[in-house]
Amino acid sequence: MVYDLGGGTLDVTVLCIENGGEFEVLSTNGDTHLGGQDFDNALLNHCCFKFKHDTGIGVKNEKRALHRLALQCETAKKMLSAGFETTIDVEELCQGKDFQLKVTRALFEDICKELLDKCIAPVDNAMKDSKLNKGQIDEIVMVGGSSRIPRV
């Protein structure tokens, strides 16, 4: 099985590979609207909500502030793939106000729960379409940057 959770899509392919290297695609499934950018955006939305809650200032229409915060959210996602917590810290995010948020892996998974749950159906569907059971899968190859998210 090849599980590819990239920046914009999730693709799951079940293959049969013969000793000579020949392969046959048994099934493929996925979600063309689920990828790493969605995890970044979920964290970004959480941060925007938190900043507005704490300061009363909305940043969703402030392009520069939103871009700076989005970069920090993407970095935080990557850091949480190897560690258990990180801090999103943007000085003078908007109207001179700083933003800082400690993000644990558990908080990130909670924020992204709906997205993480959506990662399951394509695997189930690919398995069903291949007519194999999980015991017949010898190897799972994880590709794409977001496949590094521990919960995935």
pLDDT above 90 covers a percentage of the chain that reads 96
Quick count: other Cβ atoms within 10 Å of Cβ 132? 16
| Whether pLDDT at 18 is above 90 | no
Question: According to the model, what pLDDT value does residue 99 have?
Answer: 98
For residue 71, which amino acid is it?
L
Identify the pLDDT of residue 19.
82
Q: What is the pLDDT of residues 72-95, one digit of tens each?
A: 999 999 999 999 999 999 999 999
In the predicted model, is pLDDT for residue 21 greater than 90? no
What does the alpha-carbon distance between residue 5 and residue 29 come to, in Å, rounded to a whole number? Answer: 12
**44 pLDDT higher than 90:** yes
Which string of DSSP letters, residue by residue, matches 13-57?
EEEEE-TTS-EEEEEEEEETT-SHHHHHHHHHHHHHHHHHHHHS-
Parallel/antiparallel/unpaired status of strands 97-104 and 23-31: unpaired
Domain(s) labelled CATH 3.90.640.10 in the chain stretch across 36-111
**In the CATH hierarchy, which fold is given to the domain comprising 36-111?**
Actin; Chain A, domain 4 (3.90.640)
Give me the pLDDT at residue 71, please. Answer: 97
- pLDDT, average across residues 10-19: 94
* 29-40 pLDDT per residue, tens: 999 999 999 999
CATH 3.30.420.40 residue spans of the chain: 2-34+119-148
The CATH class of 2-34+119-148 is: alpha beta
Share of the chain above pLDDT 70, in %: 100
> Mean pLDDT across the chain, nearest whole number?
96
What length is written for the chain? 152
Longest dimension (CA), the chain: 64
pLDDT in tens, 137-151: 999 999 999 999 999
Nearest to 74 by CA among 115, 41, 120: 41
Quick check: 62 and 54 in contact, CB under 8 A?
Answer: no
Nearest Cα to Cα of residue 6 among 51, 38, 42, 52:
38
Q: What is the structure's pLDDT at 129?
A: 97
